[in-house]
Amino acid sequence: MASYVFGIDVGGTTVKLGLFDAEGTVLEKWEIPTITTNHGEQILPDIAKSVLAKAEEKSIAKEDVIGVGIGVPGPVDDEGVIYKAANLGWDEFNIADKLAELTGFTVKAGNDANVAALGEMWKGGGCGYKDMVAVTLGTGVGGGIICNGRVLMGATGAGGEIGHMHIVDDETETCGCGNTGCLEQYASATGIVRLANRKLQASDKDSVLRTGEVSAKTVFDAVKANDALAIEIAEEFGDYLGEGLANIAAVVNPEIFVIGGGVSKAGDVLLDYIEKNFQKYAFRGCKGAKFALATLGNDAGIYGAAKLVIE
Amino acid sequence: MASYVFGIDVGGTTVKLGLFDAEGTVLEKWEIPTITTNHGEQILPDIAKSVLAKAEEKSIAKEDVIGVGIGVPGPVDDEGVIYKAANLGWDEFNIADKLAELTGFTVKAGNDANVAALGEMWKGGGCGYKDMVAVTLGTGVGGGIICNGRVLMGATGAGGEIGHMHIVDDETETCGCGNTGCLEQYASATGIVRLANRKLQASDKDSVLRTGEVSAKTVFDAVKANDALAIEIAEEFGDYLGEGLANIAAVVNPEIFVIGGGVSKAGDVLLDYIEKNFQKYAFRGCKGAKFALATLGNDAGIYGAAKLVIE
């Protein structure tokens, strides 16, 4: 009986790989470098080699492998076609077919944020739920939408691009996407720093944030220490993100939001500010949504990739 | 071979019924009154009686019926449980099981707005697409989200409640839902009238709208007649709706938006204002979304209900 799965998470500098049993227990984790030269032509052959070597090392027969799941940083459709992955140098091609050809295994592919969301639903903060929105608060704001246990990819793989919802009308700075007033400009790690700097400039209030470097971490550390100005910043962050998540809820009505990414290391205090403001904006039929922190950290991608082939 | 389907759309005053072949051609349409007395206890028995009578009239054998689909005005989960349908007097129960028991047929149930969206995807403005958002601009603003050919119901049947996305921060009037600044307050038929009245009050500009009753229809008729003030109103309407739809696109990334409801009778001019403003706010990966008018009108519900059982 086939009973092993490989889960692969391709990043811009490192490829994370995991060997799982069919129940989703990780048996081994390892990494290889991502070689992006020559339009990233070596990336999939390197992955195939590493997967086949691991199978041989563990004496795993081909027929005992259920398949290989892979998450990549770019839009991927249901068939496994990636449209573009600028970080990897890739243009449009079918990753799933290509990796299947190189390994001889069944392969399923997905966008990395969506795949990480699937991982959190399977074995992380969203375990036990089937309608979930994963929110990644890192350098940017990413999202992964799970409906009825399946990742919502969208027509062109842009499903869950929640960082680019329009939230603020009178923003003057431009988002990385070219628009202005995107959620990402306020709720990402860099967005929180922007909010903090604006608040520090606009206010005369004393604050521990006036000493040393301002980061999402120092802001929420100051919130925990009851710093009044930091609390104002957290309120503003929570208001923007709460509004964004309430609007997402009016579209997909999830059971739970799972909050991950670097900013989520602030812990439960973060959820307090998000949830309170979510309740302020949410449609009554959506107010029952729960909030939890992501638990898998950087491993969400390999878990979710493995889950892609166990369905 | 089973080759007939019944599609049923339950409204507050009338139940619409349709008999379809398996390809989705409507063979007959009829209506019965919705009797809401005694907590609507007679509604499903009346429907069952009407369906069975039609089958007998057409000499359709039980085994030739694929099933019965039914759309109802309230949140319905995947199993067919309705949580509440205030218009019908219903509290929580499993409609699908109940109607199956009464008819002896396989029954699937869904929320009426979602089911109408499915109808438009199957045989209407969204025909040929599988990732679609139906937007109903009527007394309120409703939505139906179709992902990969399936209706997104959401955790508690509130998927697609897009009329209650928060759009405006400084609104002073309250939406029917209890919140303020909901999309419905600007993009519904009544919302357009509100925008128009505000604009008429705030401006000294001459306009045909200053004579006679203001309605969504008179506003868009005036737009077609090049009335400058009406064009300002249409721009404002388009801005709010364009922002809302761009935010929906950042979540579910549809191939197409299908615009229906009474307001959509304005025709293509409506799409111009929506699409232009959508492009202003949309994330680049979502800008390819198409826009079309709904084509099935009041029959969308029976088509979609029939489609629920043909999958």
Question: pLDDT tens for residues B55-101?
Answer: 999 999 999 999 999 999 888 888 899 887 878 889 899 999 999 99
CA B128 to chain centre: 19
Quote the CA–CA distance of A30 and A21 in Å, as a whole number. Answer: 16
One pLDDT digit (tens) per residue for chain B, 311 residues: 679 999 999 998 899 999 999 999 999 999 999 999 999 999 999 999 999 999 999 999 999 999 999 999 888 888 899 887 878 889 899 999 999 999 999 999 998 888 999 999 999 999 999 999 999 999 889 999 999 898 898 888 888 999 999 999 999 999 988 999 999 999 999 999 999 999 999 999 999 999 989 999 999 999 999 999 999 999 999 999 999 999 999 999 999 999 999 999 999 999 999 999 999 999 998 999 999 999 999 999 999 999 999 97
B111, B150: one domain: no
By Cβ distance, the residue of A247, A284, A285 closest to B165 is: A247
Query: Amino acid letter at A148?
Result: N
Same structural domain, B304 and B203: no
Q: Which residue in B152, B177, B283 is closest to A252 by CB distance?
A: B152
B124-148 core/surface letters (b: 16 or more CB in 10 A; e: else): bbbeebbbbbbbbbbebbbbbbbbe
Q: Are residues A132 and A222 in the same domain?
A: yes
Residue from B143, B148, B125 nearest B253 by CA: B148
Of B182, B243, B251, the CB nearest to A248: B251
A195 and A62 in a common domain: no
Residues of A at the B interface (Cβ-Cβ below 8 Å)?
75, 78, 131, 143, 145, 147-148, 150, 152-162, 164-166, 177-179, 182, 243, 246-255, 281, 283-286, 288-289
Which one-letter amino acid corresponds to residue B33? P
Same domain, residue pair A134 and A15: no
Of B155, B247, B284, the CB nearest to A165: B247
Query: In this structure, are A139 and A284 located in the same domain?
Result: yes
Task: Please state the ipTM of this predicted complex.
Answer: 0.89
> Could you give the strand order of the β-sheet that contains B150-151, starting from the edge strand earlier in sequence?
B150-151, B141-147, B132-137, B256-260, B290-293
In terms of CA atoms, which chain B residue is nearest residue A74? B285
How many residues are recorded in chain B? 311
Structural Rg of chain B based on CA atoms: 20
CATH of the domain at B208: 3.30.420.40
For chain B, list residues whose CB is within 8 angstroms of any CB belonging to chain A: 75, 78, 131, 143, 145, 147-148, 150, 152-162, 164-166, 177-179, 182, 243, 246-255, 281, 283-286, 288-289
Q: How far apart are CA A214 and CA B211, in angstroms?
A: 58
CA end-to-end span of chain A = 16
Cβ distance B159 to A253 under 8 Å?
yes
Distance CA A282, CA A288 (A): 9
| Alpha helices (runs of H) in chain A, residue ranges in sequence order | 37-40, 43-57, 95-103, 112-123, 184-187, 189-202, 216-224, 228-252, 268-281, 300-309
* Residue B206 shares a structural domain with residue B287: yes
Q: Same structural domain for residues B85 and B44?
A: yes
- Does B139 share its domain with B103? no
Q: Hey, are the CB atoms on A158 and B250 less than 8 Å from each other? A: yes
Q: pTM for the full model?
A: 0.90
For residue B220, which of B206, B238, B203, B205 has the smallest C-alpha distance? B238
The count of C-alpha atoms lying within 13 angstroms of the C-alpha of A236, restricted to the half-sphere facing its C-beta, is 20
- Chain B residues whose beta carbon lies within 8 Å of the beta carbon of residue A166: 243, 246-247, 281
B145 and B258 inside one domain: yes
A150: CB partners within 8 A, 6+ apart: A311, B148
**Same domain membership, residue B286 and residue B167:** yes
Contact list in A for residue B166 (CB cut-off 8 A) is 243, 246-247, 281
Number of domains in chain A: 2
Same domain as B151, residue B81: no
Domain containing residue B89: 4-119+299-309
**Whether A154 and B166 lie within 8 Å, measured CB to CB:** no
